[in-house]
Amino acid sequence: MAVTMRLVVDFTRCRGHGICTVLFAERAELDEWGFPVIDPADLDSAPLVRRARRAVVACPRGALSVETSEPR
Amino acid sequence: MTTSVVVDRLDERRPGPGDTFGGVGHPGARLLAGRPAYDGTETLAQHLDRLGIVPPPRRGAGLVDAVHDSGLGGRGGAGFPMAEKMEAAARAPGPRLVVVNASESEPASHKDRVLVHLRPHLVLDGAALAAEALSADEIVVQLHRGDPAGYGALSAAIAERTAARLDRVPVHLSVGPDRFVAGESSAVVAFLEGRPAQPRPGPRAAVSGVHGCPTLVQNAETLAHVALIARFGPDWFRAAGTPGSPGSVLVTLAGDVERPGTVLEVWGATTIGRLLVSCSRSGHATIAEIGPVPGAAVLMGGYAGAWADMARVWELPLAHDELCRAGVPLGCGLVGVLSPDGCGLVETARLLTYLATESSGQCGPCAFGLPDLAAQATALATTRVSRSAVRRLYHRTASIAGRGACSHPDGAVRLLESALETFAGDVRYHLRHGPCAGARNGVTFPVPRSSEEWR
């Protein structure tokens, strides 16, 4: 059974620094108010997961996380 | 916010054969069964006289099975199966807590405050049974500030039960800020931890709630149903409602109806149309005579609910699952009628402005997005805007939904999207001619002044 991973934002922490949209531009862009819109698709390759984790570590608010879930 | 309790009374209704809804004392009533008490509130003696104490087979662990078989869904808005919540809380290591959520946040909804005012012992019975089943150590009843009738009824009821040594689990009252999102279950948990009553992301309260303890946060009406299921069984419960949404349900009527704020108990597969015929304003005989008025609209599920064309929902039953599928969730049970003189776009702009001020401001897309939506909706309702402004409005809704820690922004977006669909003709009129006459014609759905407090 495959494990799926997604990058998720906790918007109660996010203050729109936007570093994720620089480090992970292929899956994150800014909305009209400066907050990230994250592509909800699975992180389905090792390089993608690596880049997502880099964005997680770089977020100054600790608002990002890689959510792991097993499909039911 | 109004604190008056408006209940439909038997003698003021026009009960007919096969009537499947009514107020307190109506033959079809379950939660509101029994004679209307002199001062409204049923005493412990009257309650026990009417219903007796709960027999053992459905006390303790047996209760979860009974609730499971009953198919009881939460009556706070989301309709989450209660048995699933109980099972999750029972699996998590204790100590456990049961929270009765009577902090009714939807401004036009009165069903929970009416219920705790009229039948506090039914609600407390349900809480005590749930607490026993989960071996919980404490029960907390959470109310909004500005509900003195509910507070009075509950504190008197708790005193009666303490004197009678009725409950094994101690019950406490807690009064929180009178704000829209403060009644959301994670916000209630935050408040009980001594923090601002604001929603937060994270695990479900049933698994990890107040200070990490499994916390069953359950709407007051839901627990009142539990008190009856424990007495009369799941099959009895299922005799009302529909197979997909069993049991009776409390609804509040609002807007252009005979008496806004009326709370009714609905059961059977009563349709929205039947309810609207019964409550139509005497000056507007049209609904009773010809059925759905062409172009008339209803507001379903609350101020963060959805608009719908009256004709579209006329034949739909007041059942959670079917209304969800139709895109007009029953939510807190609000059924509102837009005045024929009113303008749906103006109403929507006012409701959105209210919802924007009620954002807890924690999440950027909600804190910035809702005021933006409200301003654009107000421009559409009150000035002559361009086509591109309407397109921008559609675009904005897409970048807000699903991006908050709670569903507050999603509710606001749904309200606006349903308005743009339901009032598409009005949008065209406003684009061509500017505000319609309805824009100057009074308020169908009033909003309260927002409180400044979160504690």
pLDDT of residue B4: 36
- pLDDT < 50 regions, chain B: 1-19
**Contact state of A12 with B201 under an 8 Å Cβ cutoff:** yes
pLDDT of residue B285: 58
Q: Which of B361, B295, B332, B321 is nearest to B241 (CA)?
A: B321
Q: Is B207 helix (H, G, I), strand (E, B) or coil?
A: coil
Omega cis (within 30) before B95: yes
Cβ atoms of B337 and B273 within 8 Å: the answer is: no
pLDDT of residue B12: 38
pLDDT in tens, B35-45: 877 778 999 99
pLDDT in tens, B304-357: 999 999 999 999 999 999 999 999 999 999 999 998 888 999 999 999 999 999
**Contact state of A11 with B403 under an 8 Å Cβ cutoff:** yes
pLDDT of residue B288: 67
Q: Which of B140, B73, B173, B359 is nearest to A12 (CA)?
A: B359
A10 reaches B (C-beta below 8 A): yes
Q: Indicate the burial class of B97 (C-beta count within 10 angstroms; 0-12, 13-18, 19 or more).
A: buried
Q: Using a CB-CB distance cutoff of 8 angstroms, which residues of chain B are in contact with residue A38? A: none
Which residue of A10, A15, A35 is in closest CB contact with B365?
A35
Which residue of A10, A15, A31 is in closest CB contact with B365?
A31
Q: Residue B51 CB: number of other CB atoms within 10 A?
A: 19
**φ/ψ of residue B65, rounded to 5:** -65, -45
Residue type, B67: V
CA distances B319 to B85, B244, B286, Å, are 21, 8, 25
Q: Indicate the burial class of A47 (C-beta count within 10 angstroms; 0-12, 13-18, 19 or more).
A: exposed
pLDDT of residue B5: 41
Question: How many residue pairs from chains A and B have C-beta atoms closer than 8 A?
Answer: 37
Cβ atoms of B250 and B267 within 8 Å: the answer is: no
Long-range Cβ contacts of B366-372 (<8 Å, 24+ apart): B366/A11, B366/B400, B366/B403, B366/B404, B366/B408, B366/B409, B368/A33, B368/A35, B369/A33, B369/B396, B369/B399, B369/B400, B369/B403, B369/B409, B370/B400, B370/B409, B370/B412, B372/A32, B372/A33, B372/B396
- Would you give the distance in Å from CA B49 to the centre of its chain? 29
pLDDT of residue B57: 73
Task: Give the DSSP letter string of B299-315.
Answer: EESSTTSEEEEHHHHTT
Site of tokens 């699975």:
A42
pLDDT of residue B346: 95
Residue type, B169: V
Omega cis (within 30) before B371: no
pLDDT of residue B54: 85
How far apart, in whole angstroms, are the C-alpha atoms of residue B307 and residue B304? 10
**Contact state of B404 with A11 under an 8 Å Cβ cutoff:** yes
- pLDDT < 70 regions, chain A: 1, 70-72
- Would you give the distance in Å from CA B241 to the centre of its chain? 17
Q: Residue B412 CB: number of other CB atoms within 10 A?
A: 29
A62 reaches B (C-beta below 8 A): no
Which residue of B362, B368, B399 is in closest CB contact with A12?
B362
Task: Give the DSSP letter string of B69-116.
Answer: HHTPBPSSSS--BHHHHHHHHHHS-S--EEEEE----STT--HHHHHH
Give the residue from B184, B198, B359, B362 with the most A CB atoms within 10 Å of its CB, the best one to mutate: B362
**φ/ψ of residue B28, rounded to 5:** -85, -5
Q: Which residues does residue B337 pair with via DSSP β-bridges, in sequence order?
A: B255, B298
What ipTM is given for this predicted complex?
A: 0.87
Per-residue tokens: B302: 């609350």
DSSP strand pairing (B97-101 vs B138-144): parallel
**Contact state of B403 with A35 under an 8 Å Cβ cutoff:** yes
Q: Which of B296, B277, B297 is nearest to B288 (CA)?
A: B277
**Contact state of B364 with A10 under an 8 Å Cβ cutoff:** no
Site of tokens 């669909």:
B421
How far apart, in whole angstroms, are the C-alpha atoms of residue B443 and residue B351? 11
Total residue length of chain B: 455
- Break chain B down into helix, strand, coil percent, rounded to 5: 45, 15, 40
DSSP B407: S
Q: Residue B455 CB: number of other CB atoms within 10 A?
A: 10
Residue type, B417: E
**Contact state of A31 with B200 under an 8 Å Cβ cutoff:** no
Q: Chain B: which residues have CB within 8 Å of chain A?
A: 200-201, 362-366, 368-369, 372, 396, 399, 403-405
pLDDT of residue B60: 80
Q: Using a CB-CB distance cutoff of 8 angstroms, which residues of chain B are in contact with residue A9? A: 403
Site of tokens 């929270």:
B99
Cβ atoms of B122 and B227 within 8 Å: the answer is: yes
The radius of gyration computed from the CA coordinates of chain A, to the nearest angstrom, equals 12
Which residue of A10, A11, A31 is in closest CB contact with B399?
A31
Residue type, B62: G
Element (H, E) at B369: helix B364-382
